[in-house]
Amino acid sequence: MMSVGGQELMVAVKRGSESRPPLLLFNGIGANWQLARPFLEALTETTAIIFDMPGIGGSPLPKRPYRPSSVAQLGARLISDLGYDKVDVAGVSWGGGIAQQFAYQYPQLCRRLVLAATSPGAIMVPGSLQAILRMATPRRYLDKNYMHKVAPDLYGGAFRKDPSLIGRHAEAMVGARGMGYVYQLLAMVGWTSLPWLRAVRQPTLILMGRDDPLVPVANGHILARLIPNARLEVIDDGHLFIVTRPVETARRIERFLGGGP
Catalytically active residues are: 93
Residue 259: closest CA among 205, 192, 178, 197:
205
**Cα 135 to Cα 88: distance, rounded to the nearest angstrom:** 28
Report residue 50 CA to chain centroid gap: 10
Pairing of the two strands 7-9 and 2-4: antiparallel
CB 70: neighbour CB atoms within 10 A? Answer: 18
**Cα 202 to Cα 199: distance, rounded to the nearest angstrom:** 9
Report yes or no: 75 and 98 within 8 Å, Cβ to Cβ.
yes
**Cα 37 to Cα 176: distance, rounded to the nearest angstrom:** 17
DSSP state of 62: P
Report yes or no: 90 and 43 within 8 Å, Cβ to Cβ.
no
